[in-house]
Structure 1
Amino acid sequence: MTALPLTLQPRPAEPVDPSVDHAILAIVSGASTAATCTTDLAAGPWDFDTRPGYGPGSSMGDVIPTGAPRQGELPAEYREASEAELHARITAAKEVLGDRVVVLGHFYQREEVVTHADYVGDSFQLANAALEHPHAEAIVFSGVHFMAETADLLSRPEQAVILPNLAAGCSMADMASIDDVEECWEQLADLYGPLEVPDADGLVPVIPVTYMNSSAAIKGFVGRHGGIVCTSSNARTVLEWAFARGRRVLFFPDQHLGRNTAKAMGVPLEQMSMWNPRKPLGGSSAADLADARVILWHGFCSVHRRFTVEQIERARAEHPGVRVIVHPECPMAVVDAADEAGSTDYIRKAIAAATEPTTFAIGTEINLVQRLAAQFPQHEIFCLDPVVCPCSTMYRIHPGYLAWVLERLVAGEVVNRITVPADVAEPARLALERMLAAKP
């Protein structure tokens, strides 16, 4: 009797826990041999609310501005509640509130918050999602401060935009203060002449462009001076819009997105000047600024600056055939070494579109990477940075704060409302409208 050949079935992959919280707790308890940038991440963010700073995991070089919003004390019942209890309380409050509230969750939020979001996306996608619910009384934005400001700019005046933790700021957005940008504008006017007077070709000396990751005050500045807002997904279209109207672009606050986008458009590096607000003429010479097509603000994202060429080389050595995708906020050398670069939404869509099992090494925030690994188990998906270090300010939004703001709404009280002053809101909306009108 001939034996039938034995067919070996591949062992199913272990399910991936999408929770970065659980990963950090496992590291701190010794149950995991992985590394985290700080064990303080295992503590509740309320332990740090009274201290100035961006919170555990932030770069030592990220100095928070004086007067940055602080969060008041979270009641003990939320600080002491278990994960399961908070989940139940949030679910119950949302059921009571119904269509009166919309909860938005950024891609970089912890899984325990995202699971309660009505919409998940990047900052601009979420601001647009808020527009789809004009009759909701409240928009709870689980993100950071500039995102809640943008939602307030685009929502109806009677709608309350709520940020669960006021201490959830953004170090990159804070790197371009309104005072520093206005001082830069004055110095450029001294160099180029009147900045809003076109030349014989109809081009003004410089067009200001701000990344969505900036304060409402900066967006308002841009709107007043003929400029425009961009996102990481439409930066090229926006720069094309700006070059059609000006000799050069002043791009802030993220130097890397500006440099990577302009380089991909064919702008030589020699025609890109840096502007450090701590130095006269931003640290560049008058001749360099005269020749510049792009003036890059000296800002960056601390999360995306963690990614390195060495990490990519290690991923390729350990995973032959790996597909490396990074965010354009990464340094130029990292973007050049990767296979692809794109926004958070680009990364998500690229993985979703892969028809064959693929190994992906991703250079962006760990919460999104971990969630994608859980959502697409047919692929091997890992973060380029082996150290578990989430965005420190996104991590300030904890389910305890979400439960608190929702239960206060149930009780008829609005807490942590974000409101942009009218004199800032009007020009800021103009800058956003220009972006919406700019089509590829």
Structure 2
Amino acid sequence: MTAISPAAAALHSRVASFIPAIEWPVFSGDIDAILRLKLERNAVILAHNYQTPEIFHCVADIVGDSLALARKAMDVEADVIVLAGVHFMAESAKLLNPGKIVLIPDMGAGCSLADSITPDDIRLMRQRHPGIPVVTYVNTSAAVKAESDICCTSGNAKAVVESLGVPRVIMLPDEYLAQNIANQTDVEIIAWKGHCEVHERFTPGDIRELRAAHPGIIVLAHPECPPEVVAEADFAGSTAAMSDYVGQEKPARVVLMTECSMSDNVAIEHPEVEFIRPCNLCPHMKRITLANIRAALEGMRHPVTIDPAVAVRARLAVERMLAV
């Protein structure tokens, strides 16, 4: 049986409610190696809320939703950033840290939203709606951001839209996020037809079944869910907002209509709350593992590069968002 170091044993206490002690040796070797390699490489790991608990709670240095990662990446003093998330997040980290090495452990960790739109699509939308500013969700490639006026996340989309002081905006690429924001503002929003493959699968019927099976349950929905799902929920917000809601309100029983690992990570922080989990897995997020984080640090694998001309324009759109 593989010996477990004191450091790995101590980390297991953080996730013991989700990873039994008998299974911990499967993870501990990679964890020890990652901790050592971070010191050797002067590296930090940024992990999105959808990462699994052994990554999120045991090797990550900075965790959060896409907005939090974008903001905190600007203050990173390490030489190397490993992005435990999907490719557009790694590009965002590179945009804000052009002098640092940014690694993504698996180049196949993509995003259905990012794949739903191209720079040519934005140029055509501008031709169709001349003079209308383009607000682009961060779940997009750097090349798409470069064609945009400003970026947004699910957490700041309303503030970004209203900050422009115009009656109409184009908001890309998530149709449901755009519709949900349109329901909260007087600004007219022209939407694209992109959807998140995780959140688009939730239905109002799912919520009604949950309420019937678990009376009194509090339902939190991500704004990438269809508007009729958001309307059925008790609260809608970004992953950070959902986590904050649980911490502040302490509901006896809650369900998060989002990616599966989100519930696991929040539950670890709030063991007094009962979590019901009819979640959907993101196949892209689940491509990131301890093993390929370790391999990324060992071989400096999959450095993120962005064409300098694209990077200048994309960085401007992200920086405008961060200034809101």
Scaled by the length of structure 1, the TM-score of the pair is: 0.66
Query: 1:351: how far off?
Result: 0.5
In structure 1, what is the Cα distance between the partners aligned to 2:17 and 2:196?
26
Q: Find the counterpart in structure 1 of residue 296 from structure 2.
A: 405
Equivalent residue of 2:304, what SS?
coil
Q: Which amino acid aligns with 2:198?
A: V
Q: Tell me, which stretches of 5 or more residues in structure 1 are unaligned?
A: 1-14, 27-80, 189-194, 196-204, 268-292, 409-413
Q: Given the alignment of the two structures, is residue 368 of structure 1 paired with residue 290 of structure 2, yes or no?
A: no
Q: Given the alignment of the two structures, is residue 250 of structure 1 paired with residue 250 of structure 2, yes or no?
A: no
Q: Which amino acid aligns with 1:216?
A: A
Q: Find the counterpart in structure 2 of residue 212 from structure 1.
A: 138
CA deviation profile, 1:160-209 (whole Å, cap 9, x unmatched): 01111111111111101112222332333xxxxxx3xxxxxxxxx41111
Query: 1:417: how far off?
Result: 0.7
Q: Given the alignment of the two structures, is residue 182 of structure 1 paired with residue 76 of structure 2, yes or no?
A: no
Q: Find the counterpart in structure 2 of residue 116 from structure 1.
A: 59
In structure 1, what is the Cα distance between the partners aligned to 2:39 and 2:314?
35
Aligned length: 306
Contact 2:71 2:322 in 1 (8 A): no
Contact 1:86 1:399 in 2 (8 A): yes
Match of residue 158, structure 2, among 230, 236, 251: 236
1:337-376 pair list within 5 angstroms: 337-355=232-250, 358-376=252-270
Match of residue 313, structure 2, among 427, 431, 438: 427
In structure 1, what is the Cα distance between the partners aligned to 2:321 and 2:34?
35
Q: Find the counterpart in structure 2 of residue 103 from structure 1.
A: 45
Equivalent residue of 1:360, what SS?
strand
CA deviation profile, 1:129-177 (whole Å, cap 9, x unmatched): 222223x21111111111011111111x331011111111111111011
Match of residue 163, structure 1, among 90, 94, 104: 104
Query: 1:84: how far off?
Result: 3.0
Contact 2:295 2:301 in 1 (8 A): no
Of 145-154 and 233-242, more deviation after overlay is shown by 233-242
In structure 2, what is the Cα distance between the partners aligned to 1:433 and 1:141?
19
Comparing both structures, which one devotes a greater share of its residues to helix? Answer: 2
Query: 1:16: how far off?
Result: 7.7
In structure 2, what is the Cα distance between the partners aligned to 1:178 and 1:18?
42
In structure 2, what is the Cα distance between the partners aligned to 1:382 and 1:321?
12
Q: Which amino acid aligns with 2:191?
A: L
Q: Tell me, which stretches of 5 or more residues in structure 2 are unaligned?
A: 1-14
In structure 2, what is the Cα distance between the partners aligned to 1:251 and 1:395?
28
CA deviation profile, 1:39-79 (whole Å, cap 9, x unmatched): xxxxxxxxxxxxxxxxxxxxxxxxxxxxxxxxxxxxxxxxx
Q: Find the counterpart in structure 1 of residue 203 from structure 2.
A: 308
Scaled by the length of structure 2, the TM-score of the pair is: 0.89
Contact 1:102 1:130 in 2 (8 A): no
Query: 1:96: how far off?
Result: 3.2
Contact 2:211 2:217 in 1 (8 A): yes
Q: Find the counterpart in structure 2 of residue 264 from structure 1.
A: 184
C-alpha distance 95-435 of structure 1, shift in aligned 2 (>3 A): closer
Q: Find the counterpart in structure 2 of residue 395 from structure 1.
A: 286
Contact 1:144 1:170 in 2 (8 A): yes
Contact 2:83 2:90 in 1 (8 A): yes
1:63-82 pair list within 5 angstroms: 82=26
CA deviation profile, 1:234-254 (whole Å, cap 9, x unmatched): 111111123x13x42111110
Query: 1:424: how far off?
Result: 0.9
Identity %: 39
Contact 1:312 1:384 in 2 (8 A): no
Contact 2:174 2:193 in 1 (8 A): yes
Q: Which amino acid aligns with 2:137?
A: Y
Q: Find the counterpart in structure 1 of residue 223 from structure 2.
A: 328
CA deviation profile, 1:15-37 (whole Å, cap 9, x unmatched): 98446xx9xxx9xxxxxxxxxxx
Aligned-residue Cα RMSD (Å) equals 2.0
Q: Find the counterpart in structure 1 of residue 30 from structure 2.
A: 86
Query: 1:262: how far off?
Result: 1.0
Q: Which amino acid aligns with 2:292?
A: Y
Q: Which amino acid aligns with 2:81?
A: I
- Rg: which structure is higher? 1
Equivalent residue of 2:261, what SS?
helix
